[in-house]
Chain A
Amino acid sequence: MNLSFLLSAVEQAGIFAILALGVYITYKILDFPDLTVDGSFPLGGAVTAVLLTKGVSPLIAMPASLLAGAAAGFLTGVIHVKMKVRDLLAGIIMMTGLYSVNFLIAGKANLPITTSTGMKTLFVNPTVSGLFGAARGDEAPLSFLREYRVLILLFLLIVLLKILMDLFFRTKLGYLLRAEGDNERLVSLLARDGGTMKILGLMLANALVSFSGSLYVQYNKAFNLTDGTGKMVIGLAAVVIGINLFGKIRFLRPTTAVVIGAVTYNLCVALALKNADANVKNLVTAALFLLVLAAAYIRLPAKKKKENGKEEQV
């Protein structure tokens, strides 16, 4: 195994860690199985790709992808809360609809971002070139870290988002969001509308997912209409591994555990797929996820398995 393979695997894992932080909000905090993810991930990609190919700065394209994701989450929430559609179905409707919306936004199924013709991305722009050098061997303050520039940028972003999330979940609004997933009835007793909290949670989650999709197309320098396929599973696996495996470590916050879970899972997938055809990827992703779920259940203490007389499921 060579170093550049490992490096690119970790970089991809870092992008998916942000996706996992979004899925953590819906799946773990809100207890809402939100399938919008497979649509909102490429939504962020489509918005970013279109803006970047028009020469817009990534500093505008990335917040735009956040807003697009929040809008998608808002619609899923409204469909579920106001139109009383089941959570799973609300996500499926949005996921299906977004596929075409993404196509309409991008204008075609493939949209390359040609940095060689001057388009800028978060990873390729004058500031990054100035810090790390434009090409190998260039004189720059941090040129010795040039190989790791993508990783450093991703790391900083993940840490920033993680800290913001941790702070948010200590606020009154954050507490109420956790309460909504934990005991809906109590939120009503506190004289608050639980439906609004659900919508808010879905907006935050899909904003993060869409942001992750934005980073994904900037990293790959292309948008693909099928980018969203299997992303739900990647996010879920990261959350389950993170919470069940690393969540037990006392000093680790759940958000940190989820990030570590995302990196672990995606490294495993990358290693398993090292010499395989890219189209086999979904089978490996799903099989590894199943393995994780089964392992997590076996690890549950016997008491927890039948808490309140109900069979506990991972």
Chain B
Amino acid sequence: MILSLNHVRKVFNPGTVDENVLFDDFNFSMEKGEFISIVGSNGSGKTTMLNIICGSLPIDGGEVVIAGKNMTGKHDFIRYRSIGRVYQDPTLGTCPNMTVLENMALAENKGKPFGLGFCVGKKAEERYREMLAPLGLGLEDRMHVRVGSLSGGQRQAMSLLMSTMTPLDFLILDEHTAALDPKTAETIMILTDRIVREKNLTALMVTHNLRYAVEYGSRLVMMHEGKAIIDIKGEEKKRTTVDDLLGTFYSISVERGN
């Protein structure tokens, strides 16, 4: 088990009239090599779950175990030693006022000490060019350009590459195509799949796009009110269609009176 959430409890606004128990005795685990897609309506707990895994949100009970180590209560930056994460907002994964080259150098040094050696080594530029060229976005010819002047798609592709440059336990994809136009989203999704395959990554992807959830990944989870109401993999996942998921979605919505 590369990740386990055991008996997690999470309460928002405790002790007020707005008190909301999102997770109560929530259990979830992920095995090495899995590529899990998580879908669910707004407020179902998808993003909260990612934030709990990464330590961006504290929990009120239970434990978070990553690669056999109990990480409950540990700072987010400590957990990120072995976790990569791409946010929905393309501006969050890169430094806008630093160049493509400088951003790549930062990402490559993750996990090593940030001391007083020069950050960009002699042969680094050539090496980064070779990493950027397969993205097919022409970034390899824009090494000395500020990342802030690149397009959203280019920045998201860089975020993806940067978060997977160093060895990881798993990669978190936090609705990482949601802020892009449909064509760019498609490009980034295909790129994601390729990187996950090539680097043999374990990945956890939250998405609002049911088609991506059906087409990509080895396991599919649908969240609803803090519970995993669908959790399928293998043949069963292959048989599932977007319409099946939509059907479940609608029946839930009717239940809630939406």
In whole angstroms, what is the CA distance A168 to B130 when docked? 28
Q: Is the CB of A186 within 8 A of B94?
A: yes
A3 close to chain B: CB less than 8 A = no
Of A171, A174, A188, the contact of B76 (CB 8 Å cutoff): A188
A6-14, A51-59, A109-117, A190-198: which lies at the interface:
A190-198
**A182 at the binding interface (Cβ < 8 Å):** yes
Interface string of B117-132 (1 = CB under 8 A from A): 1111000000000000
Q: Does A84 contact B (CB under 8 A)?
A: no
B21 in the interface, Cβ–Cβ < 8 Å? no
Interface string of B78-92 (1 = CB under 8 A from A): 101100110100011
Chain B residues with CB under 8 Å of A189's CB are 80, 84-85, 93, 110, 163
Interface residues as binary, A138-178 with B (CB distance below 8 Å gives 1, 0 otherwise):
00000000000000000000000000000010111111101
Query: B80 and A182: CB pair below 8 A?
Result: no
Contact across chains for B116 and A173 when beta carbons are under 8 A apart: yes
Asked if A183 is at the interface of the complex by the 8 Å CB criterion, the answer is yes
- Roughly how many angstroms separate A130 CA and B91 CA in the complex, as a whole number? 58
Residues of A within 8 A of B97 (CB): 178, 182
- Partner of A183 from the list B81, B95, B110, B117 (CB cut-off 8 Å) is B95
State the Cβ distance, B104 to closest chain A Cβ, in Å: 11
Our pick among B94, B98, B116 for the contact of A171 (Cβ within 8 Å) is B116
User: Which residues does chain A contribute within 8 Å of B85, judged by CB atoms?
Assistant: 189
Say whether B78 contacts A191, CB under 8 Å: yes
For A68, list chain B residues within 8 Å (CB). Answer: none
| Given A179-B95, A186-B92, A186-B93, also A192-B115 (CB < 8 A) | no
- How far apart are the CA atoms of A187 and B163 in the complex, in Å? 12
Which secondary structure dominates chain A's binding surface? helix
Q: Flag if A183 contacts B119 (CB, 8 Å).
A: no
Number of residues from B at the complex interface, CB < 8 A: 33
Category for how many chain A residues contact B = 20 to 34
How far apart sit A191 and B76, CA to CA, in the bound complex (Å)? 8
Convert A59-102 into 0s and 1s, putting 1 for each residue whose CB lies closer than 8 angstroms to a CB of B: 00000000000000000000000000000000000000000000
A186 and B95 within 8 A (CB): yes
Contact with A along B19-54 (1 / 0, CB 8 A): 000000000000000000000000000000000000
A residues in contact with B96, CB < 8 Å? 182-183
With A178-B98, A183-B92 given, is the CB distance from A193 to B119 under 8 Å?
no
CA distance A182 to B96 in the complex (A): 7
Asked if B115 and A188 sit within 8 Å, CB to CB, the answer is: no
- Are A191 and B110 in contact, CB atoms less than 8 angstroms apart? yes
B118 to chain A, nearest CB (A): 5
B106 touches A175 (CB 8 A): yes
Known contacts A190-B107, A191-B77: A175-B102 contact under CB 8 Å: yes
Inter-chain CA distance A171–B117, complex, in Å, is 5
Task: Report the separation of the CA atoms of residues A303 and B113 in the bound assembly, to the nearest whole angstrom.
Answer: 39
Residues of A within 8 A of B81 (CB): 191
Which residues of A have CB within 8 Å of B94? 183, 186
Known A-B contacts A175-B105, A188-B80, A193-B75; the reply to A170 vs B120 at CB < 8 A is: yes
The smallest beta-carbon distance between B144 and chain A, in angstroms, is 12
B109 at the interface (CB under 8 A from A): yes
Indicate whether A185 reaches chain B with its CB closer than 8 angstroms.
Answer: yes
Is the C-beta of B111 less than 8 angstroms from some C-beta in chain A? Answer: yes
- Kindly state the separation between the CA atoms of A175 and B106 in the bound complex, as whole angstroms: 7
Minimum distance in angstroms from B114 CB to a CB of chain A: 4
Contact call A173/B115, Cβ cutoff below 8 A: yes
Chain A residues near B76 (CB, 8 Å)?
188
Report whether B109 and A172 are in contact in the complex, using a CB–CB cutoff of 8 Å: yes
CA gap between A193 and B94 in the complex, in Å: 17
Contact call A175/B114, Cβ cutoff below 8 A: yes
What separation, in Å, do the CA atoms of A191 and B85 have in the docked complex? 11
Q: How far is the CB of A283 from chain B (nearest CB, A)?
A: 34
Q: Is the CB of A172 within 8 A of B116?
A: yes
Minimum Cβ distance to chain B for residue A241 (Å): 19
Bound state CA distance, A97 and B214, in angstroms? Answer: 61
A186 to B115 Cα, complex, angstroms? 18
| A191 contacts B98, C-beta separation under 8 Å | no
A residues in contact with B110, CB < 8 Å: 189-191
Q: Are A176 and B118 CB-contacts (below 8 A) given A183-B92, A183-B95? A: no
Contact of A179 among B77, B98, B116, B118 (CB under 8 A): B98
Q: Measured between alpha carbons, how far is A173 from B113 in the docked complex, in Å? A: 9
Chain A 239-266 near chain B by CB (<8 Å), digits 1 or 0:
0000000000000000000000000000
**Inter-subunit contact B87/A175 (CB<8 Å):** no
Q: Report B-chain residues with C-beta under 8 Å of the C-beta of A185.
A: 87, 92-93
> Known pairs A168-B116, A172-B119. 13 more at Cβ < 8 A?
A178-B95, A178-B98, A178-B102, A179-B98, A182-B98, A183-B91, A186-B92, A186-B94, A188-B77, A188-B80, A189-B163, A190-B106, A191-B110
Could you pull out 11 A-B pairs where Cβ atoms are within 8 angstroms?
A171-B115, A171-B117, A172-B119, A173-B116, A179-B95, A182-B96, A182-B98, A187-B77, A190-B106, A190-B110, A192-B77
The 4 lowest CB-CB distance pairs between A and B, nearest first, are A182-B95, A191-B81, A172-B114, A175-B119
